[in-house]
Amino acid sequence: MSWREDTATTSLAARYAAAGLLAVAALLFLGGGHEALTTALHDARTQTAALDVDLARVDGELDALSGTLATEVTDAVESARAATAAAEEALAGAAQEVVDATDEARAAVALSDAQIALEAAAAQVRHVRGKLSDGTVGESLTELLAHLDALRLGQA
């Protein structure tokens, strides 16, 4: 039995609405209404602002680490930074006036790409967080991970 045979078919709408940042894409693509889109954009921007603060905090604490672990944490932080930038850019595009279906599709694809980047960054941060004991860097990574998860899962 293949992995697809035992799963229920989901509609395009359900798949888009299932993940956080993609909820914005769903509202764009499926016409969720201006108020719902505005709220979703505001919530997502709040999370990206929190991520920017977390990233700056971790940057200031990296000197406490050395060797391979420092390199792994730095790589994870850079991944989170790139994913945050992609999300911010995609949200800015989603906030622009949609003129036609091409604009709508472009915004939805950008949001989808940002979602994938957030998924990868969260996995990388989670991996390095597991290697750290509790301490300043570990606590900062925990906060960073919480905000990554909130943005990617759509938790305000």
Residue 20 has a pLDDT of 54
Please give the backbone phi and psi of residue 129, each rounded to the nearest 5 degrees, phi first. Answer: -60, -35
**What does DSSP assign to residue 114?**
H
Query: Do 151 and 24 contact (CB within 8 A), yes or no?
Result: no
Residue 26 has a pLDDT of 56
| Fold of the domain spanning 18-153 | Butyryl-CoA Dehydrogenase, subunit A; domain 3 (1.20.140)
> How far apart, in whole angstroms, are the C-alpha atoms of residue 109 and residue 118?
14
Query: Would the pTM count as exceeding 0.85?
Result: no
pLDDT digits (tens, 9 = 90+) for 72-98: 999 999 999 999 888 888 888 877 766
Mean pLDDT of all residues in 136-143? 90
Query: Do 108 and 29 contact (CB within 8 A), yes or no?
Result: yes
3-class DSSP assignment, residue 4: coil
pLDDT digits (tens, 9 = 90+) for 27-74: 555 555 556 667 777 777 788 888 888 889 998 888 888 889 999 999
Domain ranges of the chain: 18-153
